[in-house]
Structure 1
Amino acid sequence: MRLISKQAFRQYMKFRGMSNADLAEASGCAVSTIAFLRSTGKSSRDTVGSDAARRIEEALNAPPGSLFSATVLVASSYSKHAVA
C-alpha cells in the first residue's frame, strides 16, 4: 500500500498527539517504519504492506483508505534481448 500524502500522515499524527514510538506501539509496526513514512530524505519510503497500512489507519482513527491506497505494479513480457 502506498502512502497518499506524507503531509496528511504527519498532520494526523500531530492531531492525535502521537510520536513515532506512540504510533508504532499502537499499530504494532516498527518505530523505523513510522519514521521512514514520515521522513522526506533519502531514507524515506512511502509503501507498507496492506495489514500494516490498515493497522496504522486504525491507530490514527483515520477512515479506511484515507492515508494509503493500493499500489499497482505493471509487468511487461517485452524483452530487449535479440533472438538469433
Structure 2
Amino acid sequence: MRLISKQAFRDYMKHRGMTNEELAREAKCSPSSIAFLRSRGKSARNTVGPDTARRIEEALNAPPGSLFSAQVLVASPSVNRGAA
C-alpha cells in the first residue's frame, strides 16, 4: 500500500499527539517503519503491506483508505529486439 500524503500522515500523528514509538506500538509495527514513512530524502519510504497500512489507519483513527491506497504496478510492454 502506498502512502497518499506524507503531510497528511504527519498531520494525523500531530493531531492525535502520537510519537513514532507510540504509533508503532499501537499499530504493531516497528518505530523505524513509522519514521521511514514520515521522513524525506534518501531514507524515505512510502509503502507498507496492506495489514500494516490498515493497523496504522486504525491506530490514528483515520477513515480506511484515507492515508494509504493500493499500489498499482504497471508493466511496460516487452520489446523484441533483433527479431526478423
**SS in structure 1 of the partner of residue 76 of structure 2:** coil
Please name the residue that 2:17 is paired with.
17
How far is 1:75 from its partner?
A: 1.6
Q: Which runs of 5+ in 2 are unaligned?
A: none
Please name the residue that 1:47 is paired with.
47
Cα separation, 2, equivalents of 1:65 and 1:25? 21
Displacement over 2 Å in runs of 4+ = 79-84
- What CA deviation, in whole Å up to 9, does each residue of 1:1-50 have, x standing for no partner? 11010000001001111000000000011111100000011110111111
Please name the residue that 1:29 is paired with.
29
Please name the residue that 2:57 is paired with.
57
Cα separation, 1, equivalents of 2:82 and 2:33? 42
After TM superposition, the score normalised by the length of structure 2 is 0.92
Cα separation, 2, equivalents of 1:46 and 1:39? 9
Q: Which runs of 5+ in 1 are unaligned?
A: none
Q: Percent identity?
A: 70
What is the aligned residue count?
A: 84
After TM superposition, the score normalised by the length of structure 1 is 0.92
Answer with 34-43 or 69-78: which moved more. Answer: 69-78
Cα separation, 2, equivalents of 1:36 and 1:20? 10
